[in-house]
Amino acid sequence: DSGVTQTPKHLITATGQRVTLRCSPRSGDLSVYWYQQSLDQGLQFLIQYYNGEERAKGNILERFSAQQFPDLHSELNLSSLELGDSALYFCASSPRWGQANTGELFFGEGSRLTVL
C-alpha cells in the first residue's frame, strides 16, 4: 500500500460525457502528479501540482483539467470524452523537497476509465 488513494477504481461512461477522478496523496506529501497509461501511448505525464499550484504540464489535452485543493487532494476532470480517452489514470505523490525526498513517486492503484 503506497498510501496514495484514488477513486473510483473503475468508471464506464459514454462519449461526450464528463468525469472527475479523485486522488488523495500520502500524508504530508505536497506534490501530486497525474499520469495516463494507454496501450498505444504508454505512461504519459499529464500535470503536476505542488501545494495547490500548478507546477508542470505535460501532454494534457485542453478538454482535461486538474486542481489541488487546500487539503492537498487533487481532482482530474475529463470532459467531452472520446473513445481514445479510455485508459488507466494514475495519481502519484512525492514529499516536499528536502524532506526525505529521494526522487521517487508513490503511485496509487489507478482509475480505469472506459468510454463507450
Q: Which residues of this protein are in contact with another protein, per CB under 8 A?
A: 2, 4, 31, 33, 35, 42-43, 45, 48, 50, 55-56, 58, 90, 92, 94, 97, 101-110
Residue type, 86: S
What's the CA gap between 67 and 59, in Å, rounded? 16
Give whichever of 79 and 105 is closer to another protein, judged by the CB atom.
105
Give whichever of 55 and 61 is closer to another protein, judged by the CB atom.
55
Give whichever of 10 and 14 is closer to another protein, judged by the CB atom.
10
Indicate the pairing of strand 10-13 with strand 111-115.
parallel
How near is the Cβ of 108 to another protein at its closest, in Å? Answer: 6
How near is the Cβ of 90 to another protein at its closest, in Å? Answer: 6
DSSP string, 59-104: S--TTEEEEE-TTS-EEEEE-S--GGG-EEEEEEEEPPTTSS--S-
